[in-house]
Structure formats: structure tokens, C-alpha cells
Homo-oligomer: A and B are copies of this chain.
Amino acid sequence: MCAAAVDKICVIGVGLIGGSFARALKRGALCGHIVGCGRSEQSLRRALELGVIDSYSTRPAEAVAGAGLVMVATPLGAMREVFSAICPALDAGAVVTDAGSAKAAVIEAVVQACGRLPANFVPGHPIAGTENSGVEASFAELFDRHRVILTPLPQTSPDALALVRGLWQQIGAEVTTMDVDEHDQVLAATSHLPHVLAFALVASLAHRSERQKIFDYAAGGFRDFTRIASSDPRMWRDICVDNSRALLDALREFRADLDQLAAAIEARDGDRIIEVFSAAKQARDQFVADKRKRPGS
């Protein structure tokens, strides 16, 4: 029996996000049976051994049969193929949601794959993750008190939205809804741009001749600053490609501000420098204080 009114849930892409979603469902005894689906049978077998899923198939059309809810948690680049495979195979009334980081691109992939946007599709994005990937890195608490953004469209069925929202809430997440473009812009700024900067910085330093010495003398601040550069390159390539418009907008804006700061440094304009740094410190300290009030989000 399933508290969320679905007996069988199919998770396509049983990695960090999909695996943690399945673990959280199991922790809450929220579902009778979880079918895992993915490309690598080895990884699915491992998920089964770990008790993350109850059965698996490498064929999406087979995996979704009988499922009342399908969670697509693959990398963005694989979504169109997945949706093409599952669209004709879904049970009548099955609700589909996803965990993709770029909502406009996922919606476009669904439309291209299914010929239309099904009313039972609820675009979603849990704001959670670590720099690790794969089912081994998954854990049931990943979404606890973390935000999940749903970006329903006018044609999205209210019942489907309620089902997905309820499931995330029962898992312990804090669900909000947002406009698709707004989601893509906010995430470009807070997540995609920082990742690009961290990747770019470490790559830039790594190809410099002093490389060994540079990393030898890096301290704790550098370790934290670059943690996200240890994230999965393929996943982040997909995000960059699929949210390129919003990301490039955010990057352009940042570049303009960085150029101004560089000019102030070149001019040794201490007042201007301190103005920028103080604004940053104030905003960041406020951000941390707010987080303390609402931990995990």
C-alpha cells in the first residue's frame, strides 16, 4: 500500500537524485514497489542489492508498465530519448515528473518526444545534491527540508500536480511552484553560474605551468570554493547546454560586474573595492543567517 495513492513507482535514472528519491520513499513507507530503470544493468543490480529499488529493467517502456508515478531523474541529455520510449507505454492516468535542472529544456524534450505536453506531466526540480554521483552516493535524507520547485504549465492537471507535490512533502521537502523561465534564471544564477566558475577556475589553474605548486599551497578556502568542480562533468555539460540562454545571461551580467571590479583593482580604488566586498559580505552573511533559520533548504 502506498500513502501517496500509487502502489508502484518507477524511477528512471537511479543515481544520486533518483536513488535518494527511492530511498526516501522507502524510509517513509510511501510506496509498495519501486521499479528502477537505467542504462547500466550493473548499477541497477547494485541499487537492488542496496535495497533502493525492488526490481529493475533497462527498458523504459517495460519499467513504466503498471506504474502510477514515473520519476525521470536521468541526466538532461538522456531525457528526450527516455520520454520517447515511455510516452506510448505509460498506463492511463500515470503521472510523470522529473528532476531536471533546466525546466524549459525538459519541457521542450517532452513536447518533441510525445508530440504534446501531457496533462499528467509535472515538471520538477529538487534543489539538492552533492558533488558525488551514482546510487552509492544516494541517501534518504537528501531532500529533508530542501526546496523542490515545480513548474506546472496551464495544461498541467491539478490532480497530477497535487500528487507530485504531496509525495515530495511526505518525503520531507518544501515544495514551491514557479514559472519555467523564472526557475531557469534563478537556477542559472545560484547554481549553474557558480558551477561554471568553479570548473573554469580549476581547469584554468590546472593547465598553468605552476600547477603542482598552485595546488600545493591552496588552503581550506580553495577547497570549499572548488568543491562543486568535483561534480559530474557530463551532468553539468547537459545543464550548460540545456540552460545555455539563462546561463549566458547570468554569465554576461557577472562578467560586466567582474570587469568593473578588475578596473577598480587596477586603479587601486580601495573605496570602490570595499563597497563591492562589503555588499557581498552583507548579502552572504544574511544568506547564511536565513539558512540557519530554515536549515537544509
Contacts and interface: CB of A to CB of B under 8 A. Distances in A.
B218 A191 contact: yes
Interface string A220-244: 1111111111111110111011001
A217 B190 contact: yes
Contacts of A214: 186, 189-190
A147 B217 contact: yes
A24 to B, nearest CB: 17
A50 interface: no
A199 B276 contact: yes
Contacts of A204: 253-254, 257-258
Given A213-B186, A228-B225, A251-B262, A207 B237 contact: no
Interface centre among A190, A229, A282 (most CB of B within 10 A): A190
Given A248-B262, A290-B215, A227 B237 contact: no
Interface string A258-285: 1001100110101001101111111111
Nearest to A236: B277
Interface residues of A, number: 93
Contacts of A220: 128-130
A248 B129 CA distance: 34
Contacts of A265: 196, 240-241, 244, 247-248, 251
A137 interface: no
A70 interface: no
Given A194-B222, A222-B194, A273-B237, A280 B203 contact: yes
A201 interface: yes
B200 A194 contact: no
19 contacts: A127-B217, A127-B219, A191-B218, A194-B201, A194-B222, A194-B225, A194-B226, A196-B258, A197-B258, A200-B254, A201-B280, A202-B284, A207-B279, A229-B283, A230-B281, A230-B284, A236-B277, A240-B265, A241-B268
Given A207-B279, A221-B228, 5 more contacts: A187-B217, A199-B281, A223-B287, A225-B225, A232-B281
